[in-house]
Amino acid sequence: MAQEHDKSMMENLYWWGIPTFFRCENTGPAGKDIALVGVPHSTGNGTTERDQHLGPRAVRNVSAVARRAHMEFGIVPWEKASVIDVGDVPFPRANDNEHCIEQITEFYNGIDESGARPVSVGGDHSITGGIVQALGCGRIAGGEPVCFLHLDAHTDVFTKVDHFLGAEKSAAHWGAYLADQGKVDPTHSMQIGLRGHPRTLDWLQPSYDYGYNVVTMKEFRQRGLDDVISQIKTVLNGKPVYITFDLDCLDPTIAPAVSNLEAGEKGFDIDEAVGLLRAVRGMNIIGGDIVCMMPTKDSPNQITALTASAIMFEMISMIAEYVGTDG
């Protein structure tokens, strides 16, 4: 008993041992329910703020101190499902965005074939394109296009430009090209919290043209959390759901270490964001990602990394609850 107690204490020390997500075993996805993945890619954003590739290491570091039991759900996800850390997607040509996106797709093809549902930490938001190129119409999705629960300050459906500073499958384009490929169904997808970086009055039009269900931050404030949750449940009901969570949807006071900060309008507080995520509890969540963290800009207490780990825990818990019962 004393030895077990000491081991438990040590596993809560973020500075001790070899970091993995939530201290999970580092192994392959075969025979597992949930695969935690690092995607240290940052050339899809095309800006000088490229240290988003440090995000996975930062979350692995602090996740040692993160919660392990979900009190609201009444489950311990690690007991409900088999969860492992499969490591990072390798990027031997890290400055070549298009090559990296294909590397991501190849890596996730293997995860999809294994049947493990991936929960990933980026990396900039271009990683979602690479991931869903593999998961859309794949094994876990039952051959169907995926449907997004997309929380973000930006649409990432910027069809009016053909590249972003040289990156074609960029952080600004995945919402469009995945729809063009038939990997995602926009008409049963939600984009929520959009508030940022408009350069033209019609900046939301591409999302409307593709058929995405858009809820701007202004609309969210007018309608309220419960009404938007009701819409999520209606739009995504019965569909294979993929959650993509850009940390810039949160207010900068909560998540200061993100790229493309949007400080001109209040973002979500953490309770609102978690409430929106839990709208898909009990649904067929085939995977999710958390993107756009910039650890070199985080506060000394690593609040953004801690927040990212909390969001990751919510995704893990919902998937574990599903595969442990109805999956």
Give the C-alpha separation, 230 to 30, whole Å: 36
CA-based nearest residue to 158, from 193, 104, 209: 209
Rounded Cα distance, 155 and 287, in Å: 20
Class of domain 18-323 as given by CATH: alpha beta
- C-alpha–C-alpha distance, residues 116 and 139, integer Å: 10
Q: Domain limits of the chain?
A: 18-323
Could you tell me how far CA 113 lies from the centroid of its own chain? 20
Of 102, 19, 35, 45, nearest in space to 293 by CA: 45
User: Per-residue pLDDT for the chain (327 aa), expressed as one digit of tens each?
Assistant: 667 767 777 777 777 788 999 999 999 999 999 999 999 999 888 765 678 999 999 999 999 988 889 999 999 999 999 999 999 999 999 889 999 999 999 999 999 999 999 999 998 999 999 999 999 999 999 999 999 999 999 988 877 777 676 666 866 779 899 999 999 999 999 999 999 877 788 889 889 999 999 999 999 999 999 999 999 999 999 999 999 999 999 999 999 999 888 888 999 999 999 999 999 999 999 999 999 999 999 999 999 999 999 999 999 999 999 998 544
Cα end-to-end span (Å), the chain: 35
Burial degree of 161 (CB within 10 A; 0-12, 13-18, 19+): exposed
In the sheet with 147-151, reading across from the earlier edge strand, the strands are: 83-88, 34-39, 117-122, 285-291, 241-246, 147-151, 190-194, 213-216
| Amino acid letter, residue 322 | Y
